[in-house]
Structure 1
Amino acid sequence: MPRPSARVPLPVLIAPAAVSAALALRPIRRPFAAATAGWVWSLPAQELPLHVGAVVGAATAPVLARRRRRASDRVGVGMAALTWAGLGVVVARHLAARAALDRALREGLSDGGAGGAGGVTTRATTTSPLPLPRTPWPVVLLRPWPLRPREVRARRGMIYGPDPTANRFDLYTGADGLVEEYSSGATGRAARGVLIHIHGGHFRAGGPSRESRAMLFDHARRGWAAISTTYHLSSTPESGFPQHLVDIKRLIHWVRTEGPSHGIPAGAPIVVAGSSAGAHIAMMAALTAGDARFQPGFTGADTAIDGAVGLYGYYGRLGRESKDISDPVRHPATSAPPVAIIHGTHDTYTPVKGSRRLVRHLRSGSPNPVVYAELRGAQHGFDAVRSPRYLAVVEAVARFTDHLA
């Protein structure tokens, strides 16, 4: 008879989750290669702590049910207990994000503001905004990946520029869509506003509808036209500059001129959001409205926007040669629209100090609100799944954009 296969020791089963939890709590910060590897390894525990805890429980339960346990079993149970404790801290940090975002919104929006860069007047807040809603635990536990809901309609692969590969986007609206040929006087629902999201990927990778999906779907349900776009990618950030920015300005121009044919009123507020590298482009778009250097062939186009949102962004220069024009803080903040910046304190890929630097620049010169929230313990890429933390971010961004609509 064949010999039974050897049982895998419990410490070996628990080790990957234990390391992931440890890195979520105490990330590696140097050198950069090790920090990046640690960030990737920490993602399961960082973004899905309850699911990782359940897996650890499933691996540990058979050992706890045995009457006779090996020494390795006792070590494994101890590792499981420590892992659960660490995951509990991660969950607590997720839940704390709601209060941090609520506080940032109350402080940032409490003074209202003057007219935005796109001509939209920010409403003055005379009473405290309503608190963010409670965490929808069934969604967090059972549907963490944000699949497109039935009440949201998608139109994929739309083209906004001369390059059909680089200049493409996905458009999300409510299930009933937006009235076509709005400018012709047809009856129907028109978009309340436009949210353009720009993906990350170090300017060299990525594509539409891979990040911030829950935020896009949420805005579509709220009556917005939600756009997830790409742009020309490049081998290095500087080699592709300023084409990245030119592309997004071209998209803003497309929304202004072609949007009415897709249910977007000509005067609808436009908010540009971005994740990581996309956040850099979003802030550059906010600070360079109408700048002819970045609008070749459409220098007279209106590329002003009504708001900008940056999620775990990089906001520094893209290289030595372009440092004077590719660094957002080298551009005056006096015409900046309302801005919301959200960053995690544990971000090892684009450290939080870059966001702090940009916020200081904006607050020193912008007449409009600057909402800034630091999420304790959050890492890079926190907008992939519907965690308690990211759902709080989605609600906070919605409250910020509703302030502009």
Structure 2
Amino acid sequence: MPYGYLTSTVLLALGTLAALVSVPRRYPVVGTLGFVAGLVVNELPFLAMFWLAASTALAFVEGDIAGAGAWAAVGVAGLTAAGLVVVARQSLSAPGVVRAALAEAFGDVPADAVRAIPWASILLRPLWVHRRDVARTRNVPYGDAGRRNRLDVYRSRARSAAGPAPVVVYLHGGGYFSGSKSREGRLMLYRLAARGWVGVSATYRLRPRATFADHLADVERVLAWVREHIAEHGGDPDRVVLAGSSAGAHLASIAALTPRPATERRPLAAVCLYGYYGYYYGMGPAELPVSSPLGYAADVAPPVFVAHGDRDPLVPVEAARELVAHLRAASPNPVVYAELPGAQHAFDLYHSVRHEAVVDGVEAFVARVLASVTAGPAVSRRPG
């Protein structure tokens, strides 16, 4: 019995099953294990296919496929391969979904708004997001809470003659009890920095020591730091886009909808990836500060880009749909909503077809917002 081949095949089979059938949160242990296994396969199905094919071929070459147990493992490999084809086809649908979402919101979108799939990066360096043309300044303090009040600044190494650059401020996920400024969202930050933006990725205080008011206060401190210091890094404090993943998307959406004094420039737009948009732990609609974007008026909302997987086991897709409906009911600005087939939580950890398509969409979205600001009038939603 080829136990090594059997073990690798079973692990790939379980990961593929988890990618196809997500386990609900009410089963915490199984759900967490399934989420981790499914996430890797879901975002890297082509590497999983290669591993499965290579291990099967090696087992045959070495003469290990002899006996009922070995052939059963081959049968499991065959079923896993069929499942991986389904997973891969779902990921390959992401560019079209993102392009259609942009077209629905803006009416007309350039054909190259979503680029050709960068297969070399996806297949050869799925974990590598760094770029030589982008400099990263780490651990800049913006408050007095130690390492939980630190931010990183991303900017192009090439000096621009075009004046101060637009700024994207990114907030990490982690359910408000974990997370890092160096985990999700880095592909987007590096890409936008290479295109002439200045990126800011910040940590913030976490529960149980911090309250929701503390989280919001840290976001406001980050924005205050941007207003006071981003010019030192080549950024424009009057052109700021808020972005975040999961809990960070929750914070970004609230900060984008929060009323501000007339002397303080509102964020140009918000980018929300697989976010939770309900009320904070144990809080309700009557408690202050209001802890859900659904509790804020949407009639002054900036343009918003929302992406969510329809198979997210941690934050069901209905959360994103509810936020989008809330915004579209009153906002005068475009709301881009890309519901990604087969996607689960934290799809922005790897170079993957799906993640690259979402970053393409974000890049096209913020470019459209900036063009509108440069032209003068506010961005308006496509009629109908």
Amino acid at match of 1:95: L
The separation in 1 between residues aligned to 2:27 and 2:322, in whole angstroms, is 21
SS of structure 2 residue aligned to 1:77: helix
Moved more, 144-153 or 339-348: 144-153
Contact 2:313/2:345 (8 A) holds in 1: yes
Which secondary structure state, in structure 2, belongs to the residue aligned with residue 242 of structure 1? Answer: helix
Distance 1:221 1:128 in 2: 22
Alignment pair present for 1:26 and 2:8: no
Q: Does structure 1 residue 129 correspond to structure 2 residue 129?
A: no
Structure 1 pair 395–137 and aligned structure 2 pair: CA distance change class (3 A) = same
Deviation at 1:30, TM superposition (A): 5.3
State the secondary structure of the residue aligned to 1:270: strand
> Taking every aligned residue pair, what percent have the same amino acid on both sides?
38
Aligned to 2:295: 330
Q: 2:219 aligned with 1:235, yes or no?
A: no
Any conservation in 2 of the 1:146–1:213 contact (CA below 8 Å)?
A: no
The letter for the 2-side match of 1:369 is P
Matching residue's letter, 2:270: A
- Match of residue 275 from structure 2: 313
Provide closer, same or farther for how the CA distance between residues 225 and 289 of structure 1 changes in structure 2, counting only shifts above 3 A: farther
Mapped pair 1:244 → 2:218: no
Change (3 A) 1:197 1:73: same
Distance in 1, Cα, partners of 2:159 & 2:176? 32
Contact 1:318 1:326 in 2 (8 A): yes
Q: What residue is the counterpart of 1:14 in the other structure? A: 9
1:53-85 deviations in Å (ceiling 9; x for gaps): 222222211332339621112111111111111
| 1:79 corresponding residue in structure 2 | 76
Q: Is the 8 A contact 1:23 1:41 kept in 2?
A: yes
Paired with 1:227 and 1:334, the residues of 2 have a C-alpha distance of: 27
Q: Kindly tell me: are residues 96 and 241 of structure 1, through their superposed partners in 2, closer, same or farther at Cα, counting changes over 3 Å?
A: same
**Contact (CA 8 Å) 1:195, 1:270: kept in 2 or not?**
yes
| Residues 164 and 231, structure 2, Cα contact 8 Å, conserved in 1 | no
Kindly indicate whether residue 241 of structure 2 is the aligned counterpart of residue 271 of structure 1.
yes
Report the CA distance between 1:242 and its aligned residue.
1.5
The match for 1:257 among 228, 235, 239 is 228
**CA distance in structure 2 between the partners assigned to 1:162 and 1:322 by the alignment:** 29
Corresponding residue of 2:328: 363
Distance 1:194 1:88, change over 3 A: same
Cα distance in 2 between the residues matched to 1:9 and 1:259: 53
Equivalent residue for 1:105?
102
Is the partner of 1:166 in helix, strand or coil? Answer: helix
CA distance in structure 2 between the aligned counterparts of 1:251 and 1:77, rounded to whole angstroms: 54
Aligned residues: 364
Amino acid at match of 1:92: R
Task: Tell me which residue corresponds to 1:199.
Answer: 172
Instruction: Judge conservation of contact 1:153–1:176 (CA < 8 Å) in 2.
Output: no
Conservation of the 8 A alpha-carbon contact between 1:193 and 1:270: yes
Instruction: Check 1:200–1:46 CA distance in 2 against 1; reply closer, same or farther (3 A cut).
Output: same
Q: Distance in 2 between matches of 1:13 and 1:153?
A: 39
CA RMSD between the two structures? 2.0
Q: Which residue of 2 aligns with 1:42?
A: 38
User: Could you say which residue in structure 1 is the equivalent of 2:54?
Assistant: 58
Q: Normalising by the residue count of structure 2, what TM-score does the alignment of the two structures yield? A: 0.90
* Alignment match, 1:161: 143
Structure 1 pair 345–358 and aligned structure 2 pair: CA distance change class (3 A)? same
**Residue 216 of structure 1: which of 174, 189, 214 is its match?**
189
SS at match of 2:148: coil
CA distance in 2, matches of 1:253, 1:177: 25
1:24 and 1:203 map into 2 onto residues whose CA distance is 25
1:396 is aligned to 2:358: no
Tell me which residue corresponds to 2:377.
none
Q: Distance in 1 between matches of 2:291 and 2:249?
A: 13
Provide the residue aligned with 1:285 in structure 2: 255
The structure 1 segments of at least 4 consecutive aligned residues displaced by more than 6 Å after TM superposition are none
In structure 2, what is the equivalent of residue 90 of structure 1?
A: 87
Find the structure with the greater CA-based Rg.
Answer: 1
Contact 2:165/2:234 (<8 A) preserved: no
Q: Which residue of 1 aligns with 2:342?
A: 377
Amino acid at match of 2:111: L
Counterpart Cα distance in 2 of 1:56 and 1:103: 33
Q: Deviations over 1:102-139 (max 9, x none)?
A: 000011122xxxxxxxxxxxxxxxx4422411101111
Q: In terms of mean alpha carbon deviation, does 163-172 or 376-385 score higher?
A: 163-172
Please list every run of 5 or more consecutive structure 1 residues that lacks an aligned counterpart in the other structure.
Answer: 1-5, 111-126, 179-187, 292-299
Distance 2:231 2:211 in 1: 31
Stretch of structure 1 that moved more, 307-316 or 163-172: 163-172
Report Cα offsets for 1:313-340 as digits up to 9, x if no partner. Answer: 0000013445331121011001110001
Q: 1:70 aligns with which of 67, 70, 75?
A: 67
Question: Any unmatched runs of 5+ in structure 2?
Answer: 371-384
Contact 1:253/1:302, CA 8 A, preserved across alignment = no
**1:260, distance to aligned residue in structure 2 (A):** 2.0
Query: Letter of the aligned partner of 1:289 in structure 2?
Result: P
Secondary structure of 2:267 counterpart: coil
